[in-house]
Structure 1
Amino acid sequence: MTTAESVGILRVPAWRGGFGRLWAAAVVSKFGDSLRTAAMPLLAVSLTRDPLLIAAVTACGFLPWLLFGLLGGAVADRVDQRRAMWAVDLVRGALMAAFAVAVALGHASIALLIVLAFALTTLQTLFDNAATSLLPSLVPAEALASANARLMTGQQVAGGFLAAPLVPALLLAGAAVPYAADAATYVLAALLVASLRVAAPERAARAAGSTLRVEIAEGLRFLWRDRAQRGLCVATTLTNVGVGALIATLVLHVTGWLGAGEGGYAAAITAYGAGSVLGGLLARRIAERTGRIRAVFVAGAVQAGALAVMGSVRELWVTTVALALFGLMGMVWNVNQATLMQERAPEGMLGRISAAFRTLAIGGAPLGALLGGAVAAAWGANTPALLAAGLFTVAVASLARQIN
């Protein structure tokens, strides 16, 4: 059953009717994930100084999307998404609990970190696609933009402002504590999702001879044939290359090129998080005035400008303002892209379309990280921001055809 409330001419999702529990599950889970992702690099560095091995842990956070992302979307369209989500979270909770025990007993290793990162992201390919497909059954179509904005904003607050500052205190209590806390959040999220009262989706009988491969191909074909979503996918992939380059070298940009030290880096990250939260609050209203595609176009254009300024002006305050604006418009992009996909996908195909989009788009991030490192080494720590600005400009230019 879907519910929404009217606010003027806008529609926002009601917290009752299941959305509130889904929101709480997403925020709790993001909180735990952020504890883990903040603590794990410190653990990796304590286990080895080999840059390749440390990088392998990060790489395994992307690789399963390239290997299994399409499969996860096809499975999400076949099963009861609610059950898939809570089952996946219980498995992830068990994995994290076992890892916390290994850390507490001194049995952690780089190999174990790599295996854990790969396993968690493999499970995430099913969970994320199922979650994308489940949301439209909890809120009406006219409230999807508000629902996506509230979900993403809540996750940003939980991950960026609540979890990260707690990690040093948790590590003082024991190296295993952040991972044990992450395990507990998975279990709590699973209970919240399991409590949702959502009828199992009614799906038409699959055609004789239909296989997962055939169904994956259907999702890819729909994404390619839908002009708006194809354009957004191409643009998002390009921007993710830029984001990967920026993230991989941001610490060098702030501490090296700007000479701002760790305090400056913390200020830059905080500014980005604050901008993202504000963007979540404004994303729906911007789209109401401009339309979804145009909102994404404007967001990308502003982000390109912010990156160009950031890579050209050697002042910390300029970088923090640019990152705040970059985060704000990034949330506007993400909310409206996700909402457009949910609005345009045919019934029973959202998981596959979401998987196709994510798999292609996420593939840009590791490529961008490699490019960012290469250009920073060759031409200076500010050049990845300029590279990202160029990629965003190309992405925005490709979107211009969608709004003309």
Structure 2
Amino acid sequence: MTTVEVTGSHVPAWRGGFGRLWSAAVISRFGDALRGAALPLLAVSLTDRPLLIASVTACGYLPWIVFGLLGGAVADRVDQRRAMWTVDAVRALLVAAFAVAVALGHASILLLIALALALTTLQTLFDNASTALLPTLVDRAALSSANARLMTGQQIAGGLIGAPVVPLLIAAGAAVPFVADAGTFLLAAALVASLRAGAPERAPRPAGGTLRGEIADGLRTLWRDRPLRGLCAATALCNIGMGALIATLVVLVTGWLDAGTAGYAAATTAYTVGGLAGGVLNRRITARLGPLRSVLLAGLVQIAALVVMGSVRSLTAVVAALTVFGFMGMLWNVNTTTLMQQRTPADMLGRVSSAFRTLAVAGAPLGALLGGLTATAWGLNTPALLTAAFFVLSVIALIPGVKPDVPVVAPQDGATTAHATG
């Protein structure tokens, strides 16, 4: 592990594997952005029914509920590097096959749903392995900076570079964004495979130990940590709202605002620009407020941004609101991930990560369907207001965990950590 200290704060060095992991994450996120922006546009071309469009997003979350906990337990058992590049190689084949189907004119809502289910099933293993792998590449004191750099790089690739070029790629052919996505999966797999990170030292599993028992250990560890428990509950409530917002953002912009494809690209780019600013300023804000209070601030400001999105019928206002929303979303995500990595024993990080993600994501399919129903019943702008209501509940859930001097759990790797200041 290699870190450098800048003005009293540790930041990860690019050598030692972090640079390659960063590059793989950024390249893969570029491809994800191409696919993520192209799928709803393809769905809109196939049907004008908001509920069917929202179903594509909803089915993209369902595997976390079914396989999320299992993915975390497996991530704690296997070579995480090998698991990541293998998953990326399989995802490349799936997306390439989908691109062929689109090129031949066989695209359908059912096929979009099948792709979403398959990719997210594989993602349950990949994401938990990635969360557990990062602390083996950088020192724990540099985790916050490392997560911020990873997420900021992904925002640049996914929003500033990826999403705005989707209309141009679609103009070249509906299958082109998916071909490019398959290529990025392959390149990311090669980069991860080149890492020489050693697996974290794990205590021998007890005789007769089962995956079910190991999953239960992860759930118990998460439940006993008050700040992580509060963050998990808050994130779960947020994700119900986010499911509604993400599933219907395309119809809010292209329908309610009548801003077309260019307006949708502007909206997603605005979110990315806000996220970039949040990644740059995260360290300063967190140093002043502490990680948990930074998350609380993010939730409060996002409520206001969502109200603007759902009540002001202006593309300019929605773009501004999404910029602020993205800024605070980055603050939330970086601090949540870092706290989980710092507070969890290294040999349980896959399981705790999967428990957190599974419980947090569980409501997103419901939110996506609620968004489609709400848009159908009361108007295309109402899902944003529904999201704001769930964010209010999430802030309420977060408050009990925001207390000073909550000790960080000592990892089982010989490292020492400081106290979080909430």
Query: Taking structure 1 as the reference length, what is the TM-score of the superposition?
Result: 0.92
Check whether the contact 2:167–2:261 (CA below 8 A) recurs between aligned residues.
no
Match in the other structure for 1:305? 304
Tell me if the contact between 2:285 and 2:294 (Cα under 8 Å) persists in the aligned partners. yes
Structure 2: how far apart are the matches of 1:132 and 1:126?
10
Shift in Å, 1:164: 2.0
Q: Could you report, residue by residue, the CA deviation over 1:170-200 in whole angstroms, capped at 9, with x for unpaired residues? A: 3344443322222221111111011111123
8 A contact 2:51–2:376 mirrored in 1: no
Alignment partner of 1:203: what SS? coil
What does residue 292 of structure 2 align with?
293
Other-structure match for 2:132? 133
The CA deviation string for residues 61-119 of structure 1, in whole angstroms up to 9 with x for no partner, is 11111110100000000001011111111111222233334444455555444333222
In structure 1, the residue matched to 2:332 is 333
Q: Is 1:180 paired with 2:179?
A: yes
Corresponding pairs, count: 403
Instruction: Give the superposition deviation at 1:355.
Output: 0.6
Partners of 1:313 and 1:116 in 2: CA distance: 35
Q: Which runs of 5+ in 1 are unaligned?
A: none
Q: Counterparts of 1:237-248 in structure 2 under 5 Å?
A: 237-248=236-247
State yes or no: 1:391 paired with 2:390.
yes
Gaps of 5+ in 2: 404-422
Shift of 1:277: 1.2
Q: Secondary structure at the match of 2:347?
A: coil
TM-score when scaled to structure 2? 0.88
Equivalent in the alignment of 2:78: 79
CA contact (8 A) 2:100 2:175 kept: yes
Task: Determine the C-alpha separation between the residues in 2 that align with 1:193 and 1:68.
Answer: 23
The structural deviation recorded for 1:310 is 3.5
Once the two structures are overlaid, the 10-residue window that deviates more, 50-59 or 2-11, is 50-59
1:115-148 deviation line (CA, Å, top 9, x unaligned) = 3322211111100100000000111111101111
* Closer/same/farther in 2, CA of residues 306 and 164 from structure 1, 3 Å limit: closer
- Seq. identity, %: 69
User: CA 1:186–1:376 in structure 2 vs 1: closer, same or farther (change >3 Å)?
Assistant: closer
Equivalents in 2 of 1:41, 1:261: separation in Å? 13
Aligned counterpart, 1:156: 155
Aligned mates of 2:292, 2:65 — CA distance in 1: 26
Q: Distance in 1 between matches of 2:255 and 2:380?
A: 7
Shift of 1:47: 5.6
CA distance in 1, matches of 2:45, 2:381: 29
Distance 1:378-1:111 versus aligned 2 partners, 3 A rule: closer
- CA gap of 1:399–1:40, structure 2 versus 1, over 3 A, is closer
CA contact (8 A) 1:80 1:201 kept: no
Structure 1 residues 313 and 148: alpha-carbon distance in aligned structure 2, compared to 1, 3 A threshold: same
| Aligned counterpart, 2:98 | 99
Establish whether residue 228 from structure 1 lines up as the match of residue 221 from structure 2.
Answer: no
1:291-348: per-residue Cα shift (whole Å, max 9, x none)?
1111101111111122234434444433322221111001100000000000001121
> Following TM superposition, by how much is the alpha carbon of 1:280 offset from its aligned partner in structure 2, in angstroms?
1.2
- Corresponding residue SS for 1:168: helix
Q: Which residue of 1 aligns with 2:281?
A: 282
Supply the distance in 1 between the matched residues of 2:141 and 2:206 (Cα, whole angstroms).
32
Q: What aligned pairs does 1:45-56 form with structure 2 within 5 A after superposition?
A: 54-56=53-55
